[in-house]
Structure 1
């Protein structure tokens, strides 16, 4: 994540506390701003043990562990209440964590990266038709790629660190992301319209390389785990505050903001077969665990 993102700032605080409390015996170095490569590259590095921990989006982790993407099903969660209920405890969270273990990954609590909106340089997105033909930057996420294809857009995968330049040079017409991420990446400098589509939620899994983690003493695991959990709690609060004030700040920076009716977008996805496709891919048991918190999807 960028240095200004609350995931980065809260982890910096956690690593400082771990270093201090362990008298320097545990020293974890943080590399923000994609310094160690793309998300997919860092996931590969984590699996090999080249890095000990990573923070990676659920949407991109889906390319490795399909079930990891299920919280990002379009228009699934009505708000943070059912979302945190699904991901902090219960059968859906357990299924996702269990699916990570065969890949040698140990998951901590998930970091908030927000409900996602569309920002473009071409036109505001008021209706489904407004998305048709737009080249929208997405992370390497099968769910988000499928979503925008179903709505008639042309999704294109671009590394986050390269997105600003891609939007500036019109390689892409826009991107989709949360308000704090739009602020942190400063893409508002090269875009004009912010449409509060709220089409999907994405989080950031804080992951450890399993064998590295298992080799630590119980005391070291407890110390790291406690500070990581505290960091996630602080991050969620900081993210919520940034998100609440984000629209006003982005308006002040010159963005034209609109909030479309979301019901037609969800109806268009249902009609396209999007929900039926992903129910089949995730499987009926995982889909049922999701719908315990969301209610019926695709009806």
Structure 2
């Protein structure tokens, strides 16, 4: 990293979550939100819309500085900085919060959601409220959930046409214990790794493959270092937007409301864009030269069978009551 960028990054991280800045007339409160998603990803685009709406709703008295594309560090660093209060907000793959708030794994089970509609019914209802409270207990304020999407496997040299093709492969995963346990159960060799390290790890052959939604594979340009793509769809994943709770609560009530209103609208816009762009992203990946091998239904069924025991593992860690409650809500949402 060049010295000038290092100094700029260090200065940015040293700032408090909230600080005033002079304007021609009076002062403006500035807040920062950082993420690891590429600038063109639907979540980053939605956050830019959020910034504009907050500044409009506040009459310019609340300004939002946005830092997409790992400008303030990787996903793990962003979560840590929000928890410490040196950064007000982050939008991040929910898995990066699960080490601090393990209850989030209750909506990270393999093949848990049949569709995005079911997933959002669950996370927007009582289960989401329960998880928001668990995050509050750890110092976070949840502002809602965007779509990360169904996750699919890519590999560098070996096409995945059966479950057996995954056996022994070193696959990069998010730092989520349920995700890791799932791939161990199907015979792969999962490795937890921050997203900022992934491209070079794929390029250098440190890992054989990775798993992400089509839009992330495209935005992060993994098609440059991966040849094969398979529609495993093993998890549906969320992007969580969280703030440092105490810093947020110190904001004037009108600023809090402006942030909540604008983020609610940003979430709606992002979900719609993510749904509309899913097939477009897949088509572009194929056009970019990735070989696409749809997994036969019988092989997907094998993946479900092999990973079914993960539910009992997570019950052992988080308690059967929580998992049973979530599963009941999933069944109700799918009806």
Q: Common fold, TM-score beyond 0.5?
A: yes
CA-based RMSD:
1.5
The answer for the alignment partner of 2:304 in structure 1 is 266
Looking at structure 1, the residues matched to 76 and 289 of structure 2 have their Cα atoms a distance apart, in angstroms, of: 34
Shift of 1:86: 0.4
The answer for the alignment partner of 1:76 in structure 2 is 112
The answer for the alignment partner of 2:205 in structure 1 is 170
Write the deviation string for residues 255-299 of structure 1: whole angstroms up to 9, x where unpaired.
1112212111010112xx322101222222211222123349xxx
Contact 1:135/1:155, CA 8 A, preserved across alignment: yes
The answer for the alignment partner of 1:107 in structure 2 is 142
Tell me the TM-score normalised to structure 1 length. Answer: 0.94
Contact 1:76/1:200, CA 8 A, preserved across alignment: yes
Shift of 1:95: 1.6
How many residue pairs end up in the alignment? 293
**SS of structure 1 residue aligned to 2:72:** coil
The answer for the alignment partner of 2:270 in structure 1 is 235
Contact 1:82/1:293, CA 8 A, preserved across alignment: no
Contact 2:168/2:189, CA 8 A, preserved across alignment: yes
Write the deviation string for residues 209-249 of structure 1: whole angstroms up to 9, x where unpaired.
11111111211111111100000100001111111222222
Looking at structure 2, the residues matched to 122 and 135 of structure 1 have their Cα atoms a distance apart, in angstroms, of: 12
Contact 1:137/1:176, CA 8 A, preserved across alignment: yes
Bigger shift: residues 273-282 or 250-259? 273-282
Please tell me whether residue 139 in structure 1 is matched to residue 177 in structure 2: no
Q: What is the correspondence of 1:99-248 to structure 2 with a 5 Å cutoff?
A: 99-248=134-283
Contact 2:119/2:236, CA 8 A, preserved across alignment: no
Please tell me whether residue 35 in structure 1 is matched to residue 64 in structure 2: no
Unaligned runs of 5+ in 1: none
Task: Please tell me whether Structure 1 or Structure 2 has the larger radius of gyration of its CA atoms.
Answer: 2
**SS of structure 2 residue aligned to 1:254:** coil
